[in-house]
Structure 1
Amino acid sequence: MNIIDELEWRDAINQQTDAEGLRELTKSKAVSLYCGVDPTGDSMHIGHLIPFMVLRRFQLAGHRPVILIGGATGTIGDPSGRQSERSLQTLEQVQENVDALTAQMKKLFISDDDANQVRLVNNYDWTKNINVIEFLRDFGKNFSINTMLAKDVVSSRLDSGISFTEFSYQILQSIDYLHLYKHEDVQLQIGGSDQWGNITSGLDLIRKKEGNEAKAFGLTIPLMLKADGTKFGKTAGGAVWLDPKKTTPYEFYQFWANTDDRDVIKYLKYFTFLSKEEIEALAAKVESEPHKREAQKALAEEMTRFVHSEELLEQAKRITAALFSGDIRSLTADEIEEGFKEMPTFTASAESKNIVEWLVDLGIEPSKRQAREDITKGAISINGERVSELEVDITAEHAIGGKFIIVRKGKKNYSLVKLV
């Protein structure tokens, strides 16, 4: 299957500048293409992954991908999708973010097994020596203010206001495409749907500088929304990050495992490298046996393995299984800390204390009467083991790894108790 046909089947194409021309080009040769990300933070989130998964598909189809880290554009700020000016970061902070994103990209997309290795570039390398006169004469002269104002990314900001700094962003990104076209043989830029204006500006600059016969193309990926109309990738706790320190592998796994039935096949097409046959088989399972959630499990496994590792996937699955079965003792202290990160947390001393008083003092139970009632009814479990005797004492020996005691009240109300 041609790469364009595959992307169409996966519903991963929003707009193309020349659909037939690009299809013919990808059939005739291995194409160099690029996608960029600005270092606005020290980690990408899953929304950033969407165009890079398309880039990876091109790579697996035999094409030559280039990943651009925007060390220069990151100091300016892309106005896309915003109604106010970005706060400028220091150059030191931008460089720290460049280093962090570069490490993430290498982990995700560079492997000794890849025949067509991803090339990593930083646009700071070719923009740092452009002075203001060169910028205005050599590049600015090629841009019409009328055309720039008509771009969605700019026109949407005219009422609220936009600085010349952010207004000039599309010129800098156009310089990127021109540089990569001339020096890296790049003929295709891909990006999210909000990047259409920037991509077409780059194509215009290439043709003005290199001639109308220059073969260069643009492709955007659709804006991803959930079935309920809300933005993909956001949770009650915020963004789902690729950095395991920001979003633990267990939380990452759970995000995908909890995908709505209406969205899961779309996500399998976008984010995994499962075949058409495998995805269609999972789609049939969603229709016939939705309660088994096999498609969600496959999605969670594929994504956690890809972003983190097989080892951390197995850890996430262990935590999930332990919480489902109540077998808390099978977890290590580190796994408990990860799995219970977002659950109510209490602090207790290591001194021995009767369970009734202990539960009330922590605030897990509102009164001794309620505590005694819940215990005698079998509604309280300590580390997965039901407690039914009122005379039980909680001691440091209950602490898993010497650190944590897990209390479950009822079927689903977990609390994490840290011993100090």
Structure 2
Amino acid sequence: MSDVLDELQWRGLVAQSTDEAALRDALGAGPVTYYCGFDPTAPSLHHGHLVQLILLRHLQLAGHRALALVGGATGLIGDPRPSSERTLNTKEVVAEWTDRLRSQISRFLDFEGDNPAKLVNNLDWTGELTAIDFLRDVGKHYRLGTMLAKDIVARRLDSEQGISFTEFSYQILQGMDYLELFRREGCTLQTGGNDQWGNLLSGVELIRKAEQASVHVLTTPLITKADGTKFGKTEGGAVWLAPDMMTPYAFYQFWVNADDADVVRFLKIFTFRTREEIAELERSVQERPAAREAQRTLASDVTTLVHGEDATKAVIAASQALFGRGDLRELDEATLSSAVAELPRVDVAPGTPVVEALAGAGLVAGRSAARRAIAEGGAYVNNVKVTGEDATLDPAELLHGRYALLRRGKRTLALAVVDGDAAAGARA
């Protein structure tokens, strides 16, 4: 069980811990009950939470007992942001998001067998807690000077907007979570991102004062790219784990586009590949970079972890079909729609000339350029080469009755979309 700490360090999943030697001894004597908290301040978890979920899974696979906390109470407040106050969501919205996060988390841990994980909600111990009891039983253990010295609090106090008492109190609520799980479940280890170090220590200090006991904290580093820039931003925002906020296709594409300088590190952090497998993939990056074997492995593993094997197979089939290495007609409409979601598109009528569609979608500079592309053999509709300048978008050949995939050359794609009613009328 103690070997798991070495494994986590090798994978780049450890930034800080309260006492590494004591934590190593505790893990070796285990099993240790540990937890990580996830606040429903959005309707989905994202790539940053994924790091924590993978850490939880590594610890569970090593025989330790996992608690995943969804903050039905702390989500009503939200962890203080570096620059400004959060907009408080309604209780109804937070309850809905809590259910969504519970469903997402359940994919990552084993809740059956000899060492089942457990989902908990901090609203269970704060919902009926009175303000007087909170101040007497918890607040008395906190010193204002220590709370003011927290980095995030200090920065907010120096800003024009300051910090409200509501967000200032967040660190107490998080500390209380650790105390309650220590009492209820025997929890002695909390994990989180390194930006949460101050909040995590709040629980350590509270347990020391309230129970005269020593517990542990372990943080993961904030993931950045090799060039030092922030990891995990896309044109649409964060890398969300919910398929209705980021399609499995777009999710897969994010990972498959990892830079050679980053991919081996990401394989260590975000997959469960062995050291030997990752070493082989690293050699592939060095010797056969054009094959992008490491990137495809990374994308496949992470997409399967988050969305399941069937979704990954559908995504890979769609990726291949878009560029002529598979049958577009075998893709269901949902998979096709997600695969083409980021493509330029043009709305057309049934029977529109292909020349007009190519120009309207921006694949060529104009109709003359479209005719040249066709004459040179470089224009395709649904992966079929267009052979005549007078070709039209045949309603009978549309994908799912309304889509035509346009391609110029090998990799430049766009989508022509026919209004559903108009397409149905043309087919009739």
TM-score, length of structure 1 as denominator length: 0.94
The CA deviation at 1:324 is 3.4
Tell me the distance in 2 between the aligned counterparts of 1:391 and 1:11: 58
Please tell me whether the aligned partners of residues 327 and 384 of structure 1 are also in contact (alpha carbons under 8 angstroms): no
Matched, 1:418 2:422: no
Q: Name 2:282's counterpart in structure 1.
A: 283
Cα separation, 2, equivalents of 1:288 and 1:282: 10
Deviation of 1:357 (Å): 4.4
Which residue of structure 2 lines up, in the alignment, with residue 368 of structure 1? 367
Q: How many residues align?
A: 415
| Letter matched to residue 185 of structure 1 | G
SS in 2 for 1:99: helix
Equivalent residue, structure 2, for 1:76: 77
The alignment partner of 2:192 has SS state of strand
Q: CA shift at 1:348, angstroms?
A: 1.8
Report the residue type matching 2:13 in the other structure: A
Contact 1:32 1:65 in 2 (8 A): yes
Structure 2 CA distance for partners of 1:281 and 1:366, relative to 1, 3 Å: closer
Quick one: structure 1 residues 415 and 362, their matched pair in 2 at CA, closer, same or farther if it must change by over 3 Å? closer
Tell me the CA shift for residue 263 of structure 1: 1.0
- C-alpha distance in structure 1 between counterparts of 2:383 and 2:177, whole Å: 57
Alignment check: 8 A CA contact 1:327 1:383 kept: no
Pairing 1:9-408 to 2, within 5 Å after superposition: 9-80=10-81, 82-110=82-110, 112=112, 114-160=113-159, 161-211=162-212, 214-325=213-324, 327=326, 329-332=328-331, 333-350=333-350, 352-359=351-358, 367-408=366-407
Q: Deviations over 1:255-311 (max 9, x none)?
A: 111111111111111111111221122122222222221111111111111111111
- In 1: Cα distance, 2:111 partner to 2:69 partner: 18
Which whole-Å deviations, capped at 9, do the CAs of 1:92-122 have from their partners, x for residues lacking one?
Answer: 000000011011111232354x532110000
CA distance in structure 2 between the partners assigned to 1:258 and 1:329 by the alignment: 22
> Do the aligned partners of residues 326 and 298 (structure 1) sit closer, same or farther apart at CA in structure 2, a change above 3 Å counting?
closer
* More divergent stretch after superposition (91-100 vs 388-397): 388-397
Describe the shift of the 1:328–1:342 C-alpha distance in structure 2 as closer, same or farther (beyond 3 A). Answer: farther
Contact 2:359 2:370 in 1 (8 A): yes
Per-residue deviation, 1:192 = 0.2
Q: 1:363 to 1:201 in 2, by over 3 A?
A: closer
Q: Distance in 2 between matches of 1:394 and 1:64?
A: 59
Q: Aligned-residue CA RMSD in angstroms?
A: 1.8
3-state SS in 1 of match to 2:295: helix
Q: Is the 8 A contact 1:319 1:331 kept in 2?
A: no
Contact 1:348 1:362 in 2 (8 A): no
Counterpart CA distance in 2 for 1:246 and 1:63 is 32
Structure 1 window deviating more from structure 2 (321-330 vs 180-189): it is: 321-330
Deviation for aligned residue 1:411: 3.2
Q: Which amino acid aligns with 1:204?
A: E
How far apart are 1:144 and its partner, in Å?
0.9
- In structure 1, what residue type is equivalent to 2:164? S
Gap change, CA 1:384 and 1:111, over 3 Å in 2: farther
CA deviation profile, 1:357-395 (whole Å, cap 9, x unmatched): 454566665543333222222232111111131222322
2:15 is aligned with what amino acid?
Answer: N
Q: Matched residues in 1 for 2:292 and 2:363: separation?
A: 33
Q: List runs of 5+ in structure 1 lacking aligned partners.
A: none
1:195-216 deviation digits (Å, cap 9, x = unpaired): 11111111111011111xx131
Equivalent position SS for 1:66: strand
Letter in 1 for 2:88: L
Q: 1: CA distance between counterparts of 2:327 and 2:236?
A: 24
Letter in 1 for 2:143: S
Return the TM-score normalized by structure 2. 0.93
| Distance of 1:119 and 1:323 partners within structure 2 | 42
SS in 1 for 2:27: helix
3-state SS of 2:158 partner = coil
User: Percent same amino acid at aligned positions?
Assistant: 45
| Corresponding residue SS for 2:415 | strand
Question: Match of 2:248, as an amino acid?
Answer: P
The one-letter code sitting in structure 2 at the alignment partner of 1:98 is T
Mapped partners of 1:27, 1:178: distance in 2: 23
